[in-house]
Amino acid sequence: MATILLIEDEVTVRETLALNLRAEGFEVFTAADGMTGLDLARDESPDLIIMDLMLPKLDGLSICRIVRKDSDVPIIMLTARGTEMDRITGFETGADDYVVKPFSLGELMARVRANLRRARAGQPVQTTRLTATDLTLDLLARRANLRGDELKLTYREFDLLAELMRNQGAVLSRDLLLNSVWGFDYVGDSHTVDVHIRWLREKIELEPSSPRRIMTVRGVGYRFEG
| Cα within 13 Å of Cα(216), Cβ side | 14
Q: Closest CB to Ca ion among 14 and 201?
A: 14
Sole binder of Ca ion in the list 2, 9, 163, 199 (CB under 5 A): 9
Q: Closest CB to Ca ion among 65 and 81?
A: 81
116 contributes a contact to Ca ion by CB under 5 A: no
Buried b (16+ CB within 10 A) or exposed e, 64-82: bebbeeeeebbbbbbbeee
Within residues 12-71, the interface with Ca ion by CB under 5 A covers 52, 54
Distance CA 21, CA 26 (A): 6
> Per-residue x/- mask for Ca ion, residues 167 to 186, rule CB under 5 A?
--------------------
Q: Which stretch binds Ca ion (CB under 5 A): 7-15, 27-35, 61-69, 107-115?
A: 7-15
In angstroms, give the least distance from the CB of 79 to Ca ion: 8
Distance CA 51, CA 76 (A): 6
In angstroms, give the least distance from the CB of 54 to Ca ion: 4
Distance CA 29, CA 174 (A): 51
Q: Closest CB to Ca ion among 50 and 204?
A: 50
Q: Going edge to edge, which strands form the sheet with 3-7?
A: 27-31, 3-7, 48-52, 75-79, 97-100
Q: Closest CB to Ca ion among 47 and 52?
A: 52
Q: Closest CB to Ca ion among 9 and 86?
A: 9
In angstroms, give the least distance from the CB of 91 to Ca ion: 19
In angstroms, give the least distance from the CB of 117 to Ca ion: 27
Distance CA 190, CA 173 (A): 9
In angstroms, give the least distance from the CB of 32 to Ca ion: 10
Closest CA to 91 of 149, 132, 58: 132
Closest CA to 9 of 51, 64, 63, 67: 51
Residues lying near Ca ion in the complex (CB under 5 A) are found at 9, 52, 54
